Amino acid sequence: MGIKDFVKTELKGWKKAEIIGLCIVFSVIFVNAFIVKDSIIAVISAVCGILYSTIAGKGKISCYFFGLMGTCCYSWLSFENGLWGNLLLYMCYYFPMQITGIFEWRKHLKKETKEIIKKQMTHSQRIKLCAAALIACITAIEIIKYFNGSSPVFDGITTVLSVFGMLLTVKRYIEQWILWMIVNGLSAIMWLNLVMHGAKTYATFIMWTVYFILAIYFYINWKKEIDAQI
């Protein structure tokens, strides 16, 4: 498949409401950045991140290209604001996992739409996931406290759940969206707190808020599609 055909395929299946929603969000981000002189890196991170999350929700493999760009920008923001858990997460886990995701998703694409085939976990898998996540969250919080991170509880929980969330994303499980709801909600609160204390990362706060809304939206969409297949 050539580049032109690939682009055409990736743009199929978009609803007018989704396109309008993206335009509104990006307009808010750009206007806000101009008014408050937001960080350029924060703006790029927000745009790439929102595109990644939206396109991933659509089940399109091109999401990972925006994900890789957004990962680099967000890692820099985490470094500047002392969010060591998020920094390690993005550079040492997200980056290689997104590359893995490209190859993994290519194996499970629908022939007609080139969207991924979605699936859900069993009851026992969900129980094991919750137990592992709880233990990992407690451990991460204590480690970040030891290194004097700026937000150990938020940083620890979002870091751990993001690890599991990214794994479920690559594996195409709908349960990823439940984890992303928690991660995105807590991350929005964490960045709002940083903004209120002087950090010029308004676009990052907007990004996480939009992520939270997208997680709910795509959980509903994936659930409908999976139920229709049963």
Dump pLDDT digits (tens) for 155-211.
889 889 989 999 999 999 999 999 999 999 998 988 888 888 877 777 778 888 989
Strand partners, 173: 119
pLDDT for 184 equals: 92
Buried b (16+ CB within 10 A) or exposed e, 7-41: eebbeeeeeeeeeebbeebbeebeebbeeeebbeb
176 by Cβ neighbours in 10 Å (0-12 / 13-18 / 19+) ranks as buried
Global pTM value: 0.83
Give residue 110's pLDDT: 87
pLDDT value at residue 146? 86
**pLDDT classification of 125: cutoffs 50, 70, 90:** very high
| CA triple 120-102-218, angle to 5 deg | 40
Please check the confidence at residue 1 and state whether its pLDDT lies above 70.
no
Residue 2 pLDDT greater than 80, yes or no: no
**Helix 202-229 and helix 176-196, axial crossing angle in degrees, nearest 10:** 170
C-alpha distances in Å from residue 155, one per residue of 46, 86, 145, 206: 18, 7, 10, 18
Domain ranges of the chain: 3-229
Q: What is the pLDDT of residues 3-50, one digit of tens each?
A: 666 666 666 778 888 889 999 989 988 998 888 888 888 889 889 989
Residue 184 three-state SS? helix
